Amino acid sequence: MARILIIGAGGVSQVAVHKCAQASDVFTDICLASRTLSKCDKIAAQLKRPIRTAKVDADNVPQLVKLIKDFRPDVVLNVALPYQDLHIMDACLETGVNYVDTANYEPPDVAHFEYKWQWAYQERFKKKGILALLGSGFDPGVTNVYTAWALKKHFDTIETLDIIDANAGDHGQPFATNFNPEINIREVTAKGRYWEKGKWIETDPLSVKKTMDFPDGIGPKKIYLMFHEELESLTKNFAKKGLKRARFWMTFSDNYLKHLEVLQNVGMTRINPVKYNGQEIIPLQFLKALLPDPASLGPLTKGKTCIGCKIKGTAKDGRKREYYVYNICSHEESYKEVQSQAISYTTGVPAMIGAMLVATGVWKGAGVFNMEDFDPEPFMKKLNKYGLPWTEVFLK
């Protein structure tokens, strides 16, 4: 039996709240909080059981502390913006409550994300005797667990890792992002990076691409090399297990890339302020206000996502092995169940599972941890139970 405080009321939060409510045998009490109380109340109204809602500014540590002390959760699930991670971690430290998030910290004024800011909390969380679980989404999150599972079950050493994220859905809009536009565009327009032979190699944004044939009828799609945060922790933890190269790939439609190119060319993706009518505005934040709310895309989006890991290495019997583990998720089925499209579903379900494993003590410890630091087996079993079944294929 556990109490969970969920901070943030976007698309991922909506899924996480639905899934926590479904798991009533574990989560006996749920509180959903965000800066906009009406968003929390709207999500709460979709559920078949009552939950508490609250207004809180996730940038305001005293407000967060007050709410945590009042609700007394066993775990705080942060599905707010990555800019707010450190504030919520500070509040958890002050109150002695376990912390889970889905994405690593990003400073608001720099399009740069890495784990150093959160890893720096290691000794403070350890001294307090509480656990911080970082990146319990799909990528990062499930992809980290897939990699740990592959090593535990199938490989003696992992030599190459390719994480591949395909959204084969269509929402019919000229241009829209499937999650927070500001975070999405900052991520896509950043330089690519991959890890090889102990070094990071940088590439121009989306300059490296190839075609991959995806399963379950999705077919061939162009995939583009990007940097993604799970590469940082996976290379740190698996280099000693024989890892020689790690890359992250994502699909984008030609239409999406053409619109993005035009927006970049006219300066609409800039994150530094400009003067307009005597006041400062940030072009990317203004663009976010113009684009469709990702939550509105749920009933419009058709098709599937396919996210997984392709791994090469040496099997436990000494033979060379190639392996692919992945999930297929339907946009339509996701919306039917939780009124959100598959992008939110594939992040919200693992967020709930990570919080569940921490709250129930299946994953336990004191300090700051990434997903691959724990036994992958309980997580893999719960993926099948809670809506993200996985398939594994031995390619060689």
Each residue's pLDDT expressed in tens, for the chain with a length of 396 residues: 899 999 999 999 999 999 999 999 999 999 999 999 999 999 999 999 999 999 999 999 999 999 999 999 999 999 999 999 999 999 999 999 999 999 999 887 776 788 999 999 999 999 999 999 999 999 999 999 999 999 999 999 999 999 999 999 888 887 877 667 777 788 888 899 999 999 999 999 999 999 999 999 999 999 999 999 999 999 999 998 899 999 999 998 888 888 888 888 888 888 888 998 889 999 888 988 888 877 777 788 899 999 999 999 999 999 999 999 999 999 999 999 999 999 999 999 999 999 999 999 999 999 999 999 999 999 999 999 999 999 999 987
Is 2-134 in CATH node 3.40.50.720?
A: yes
Which backbone phi and psi does 158 adopt, to 5 degrees? -100, 125
Other C-beta atoms closer than 10 Å to the C-beta of 308 total: 26
Contact 25, 11 (CB under 8 A): no
Q: How far is CA 198 from CA 56, 96, 234, 309, in A?
A: 43, 37, 12, 20
| CATH value of 142-340+386-394 in 2.60.120.10, 3.40.47.10, 3.40.50.300, 3.30.360.10 | 3.30.360.10
The kind and range of the H/E element at 391 are strand 390-394
CA distance 288 to 341: 19
User: 2-134 with 142-340+386-394: one CATH topology?
Assistant: no
Distance of alpha carbon 373 from alpha carbon 386, whole angstroms: 22
Contact 118, 131 (CB under 8 A): no
Q: In sequence order, what are the beta bridge partners of 162? A: 247, 310
User: What's the pLDDT score for residue 178?
Assistant: 67
Task: Determine the pLDDT at residue 64.
Answer: 98
| Listed residue (163, 143, 315, 310) closest to 225, CA to CA | 163
Longest dimension (CA), the chain: 69
Q: Three-state SS for 77?
A: strand
What is the chain's Cα-based Rg? 20
Token pair listed for 304: 């599937």
Report how far residue 29's alpha carbon sits from residue 1's, in angstroms, rounded to the nearest whole number.
9
| Burial class, 231, CB count within 10 angstroms (exposed 0-12 / middle 13-18 / buried 19+) | buried
For 96-140, the DSSP string reads T-EEEESS----TTSS---SHHHHTTHHHHHHHT-EEEE--BTTT
Sequence ranges of the domains in the chain: 2-134, 142-340+386-394
Give dist(CA 338, CA 43) in Å, integer.
10
CA-wise closest residue to 359 among 101, 148, 94, 131: 131
Instruction: Compute how many other C-beta atoms are within 10 angstroms of the C-beta atom of residue 114.
Output: 14
Query: Do residues 292 and 186 lie in contact, with contact meaning Cβ atoms separated by under 8 Å?
Result: no
